[in-house]
């Protein structure tokens, strides 16, 4: 007969300091279709904001979908 023992181990979820977060935006302005222009992946939100500012200046588009991504690790508490 095999016995199994399960133990509760509390974990903490933290941002992985070894991986940089990523920021991006896509223009979703348009009447029938989204514009679809994208900033590409940036390393800082200010870069995305600058791209949005320039795109709005060129096109007068005002609506964007912003994306933030990072890596998380679980470590025992």
pTM, full prediction: 0.77
- Checking if the pLDDT of 9 tops 90, the result is no
Residue 56 has pLDDT above 70, yes or no: yes
Comparing C-alpha atoms, which of 53, 47, 58 is closest to residue 68? 47
pLDDT digits (tens, 9 = 90+) for 36-51: 999 999 999 999 999 9
Report the number of secondary-structure helices (H) and strands (E) in the chain: 1, 4
pLDDT at residue 77 in the model = 83
pLDDT band, residue 75 (cuts 50/70/90): confident
């Amino acid at each position: 007969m095999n016995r199994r023992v399960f133990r509760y181990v509390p974990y903490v979820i933290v941002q992985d300091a070894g991986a940089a977060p990523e920021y991006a935006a896509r223009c979703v302005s348009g009447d029938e279709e989204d514009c679809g222009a994208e900033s590409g992946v940036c390393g800082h939100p200010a870069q995305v904001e600058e791209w949005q500012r320039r795109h709005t200046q060129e096109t007068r588009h005002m609506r964007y979908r912003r994306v933030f991504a990072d890596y998380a690790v679980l470590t025992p508490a």
